[in-house]
Amino acid sequence: MLSSIIKLFIFALLVTALTGPFSWESPEGRQENFKNGIDIVLALDVSLSMYARDFDPNRLDAAKRVAMDFVTERPGDRIGLVVYAGEAYTSCPPTLDHQVLLDKIATTSGEYIDGGTAIGVGLGTAVNRLRAESEGGKVIILLTDGTNNSGEISPEKAAELAKAKGIRVYTIGMGTKGEALSPIPTAFGIQWQMAPVDIDEDILKKIAFKTKGSYFRATDQKSLVEIYEKIEKLEKAKFLDRVYKNEPPSDPSAFLNWAIVLCLILVFYSLLQFKYAGE
């Protein structure tokens, strides 16, 4: 009787070892990790200089168009929009309802906001929109075409706040090198003149370095598109890496090895029983 039970147990072990242990976790359940996504805030400069015509039809419209394409490519992420010039405000908090966000981006302008470029305030406002309890990554993509010339918070201080919250900041300097046809405020209203492109690349690089992000320079439409594509790939790679690291590796061979060892022990025990029974 005992010998029959041992044989059945050995057979069951071998079958289980060869087929692999069954997991109740479905592929759909594993995919939920990807659907959680990350939190992203787009911080967009809407100052007067963003209407310069070195992009088609101007910097702001070109930036909006590329940002909308970026949003469309990331359906699983909560994405929001902060706009800034001399001040900043949240146009759309991070959301999965991307149609609402796309509508906000499409209608964004600098018409009802104070003049100037407050990079620090824009970044600080974006930092405040990202939830500290976010399970995924937290990212800000800050785009500007100028230098910080207003605002109560410096870009350096805002970068410190982002670093403290574990937020990675990608900075983009937008504008051709040299001069561009730009709107210039005068006593007679807005005049269009060729004006030098002045981007504070040093501060943008410092922000990116401090927060473990990257700085990019967009000098034309093609390079701007490529920059957003690079960021999209970088963040997708980082998020997938985090998901894989959180999942314990599955090694069916480990179970097979243990099953073989147990089988050998049981076979040896069965032989001993047979030997002693014959004596």
User: pTM, whole model, 2 decimals?
Assistant: 0.75
Q: For 75, which DSSP code?
A: T
Question: Which tens digit of pLDDT belongs to each residue from 36-86?
Answer: 589 999 999 999 999 999 999 999 999 999 999 999 999 999 999 999 999
pLDDT in the model for residue 33: 42
Whether the CB-CB separation of 124 and 154 falls below 8 Å is answered with no
- Name the token pair of 199: 């981007």
Do both 153 and 269 map to the same domain? Answer: no
Do residues 81 and 10 both lie within one domain?
no
Tokens of residue 278, six digits: 């014959």
Instruction: Please tell me the predicted confidence (pLDDT) of residue 138.
Output: 95
Query: Cα separation of 179 and 194, whole Å?
Result: 6
Task: Give me the pLDDT at residue 268, please.
Answer: 65
pLDDT tens column, 205-214: 999 999 999 9
Residues 13 and 87 in one domain: no
On whether both 20 and 100 belong to a single domain, the answer is no
Which residues share a beta bridge with 195?
180
Indicate whether 6 and 142 sit together in one domain: no
* 164 and 265 both lie in a single domain: no
216 close to 132: Cβ distance less than 8 angstroms:
no
207: domain range? Answer: 37-245
| pLDDT at residue 117, as a whole number | 96
Question: Going along 96-167, which residue ranges are E strands?
Answer: 138-144
Angle between helices 155-164 and 201-210 (to 10 degrees): 20
Same domain as 19, residue 156? no
Measured CA to CA, the distance from residue 275 to residue 94 in angstroms comes to 74
272's tokens: 């001993």
Contact 208, 167 (CB under 8 A): no
Q: How many CB atoms lie within 10 A of CB 184?
A: 13
* Pick from 37, 40, 36: nearest CA to 140: 40
* pLDDT for the residue 68: 98
Query: Is there a single domain that holds both residue 27 and residue 42?
Result: no
pLDDT score, position 191: 96
pLDDT < 50: residue spans in the chain? 22-35, 247
Same domain for 6 and 120, yes or no, is no
Together in a domain, 6 and 131 = no
Same domain, 126 and 12: no
> Which residues are registered as beta bridge partners of 182?
193
Number of domains within the chain = 2
Backbone φ and ψ of 37, nearest 5°: 65, -160
Please report, for the domain that includes residue 143, its CATH number: 3.40.50.410
What stretches of 85-137 adopt beta strand conformation (E)?
Answer: 88-95
Do 179 and 235 belong together in one domain?
Answer: yes
